[in-house]
Amino acid sequence: LSRRYDTKYSAWDPDQLKSAREDIKELLNFKFCHPILVRLGWHDVGTFNKNITVCPQRGGAIGSLIFEIELKHAANAGLVNALYLIKDIKEKYSRS
């Protein structure tokens, strides 16, 4: 199976991921938002298609729920609230 990955999606800084994880833990200690964040992750992963070999088109946990077309899908109703909760963390660790 041949896989091509765009480096934008595959080369993450482990220290930055660790820091983001700590920020998320802090958010969870401050606000009870565990269920909606789990749901956000679950629905993002649910876009995976094993028959597509090119990333990011194959879906999966790549953050596709930031796009309006995904958020408008009935199954994703309310997930915009989860995105709002993690907005500051996302911006802090944004890769331009």
Q: Of 1, 6, 15, 43, which residue is the catalytic one?
A: 43
Contacts 24+ apart (CB under 8 A), 84-89: 85/27, 85/31, 85/33, 85/36, 85/37, 86/24, 86/27, 86/37, 86/40, 89/20, 89/23, 89/24, 89/27
The reply to whether 43 belongs to the active site is yes
Measured CA to CA, the distance from residue 19 to residue 42 in angstroms comes to 22
The catalytic site residues sit at: 43
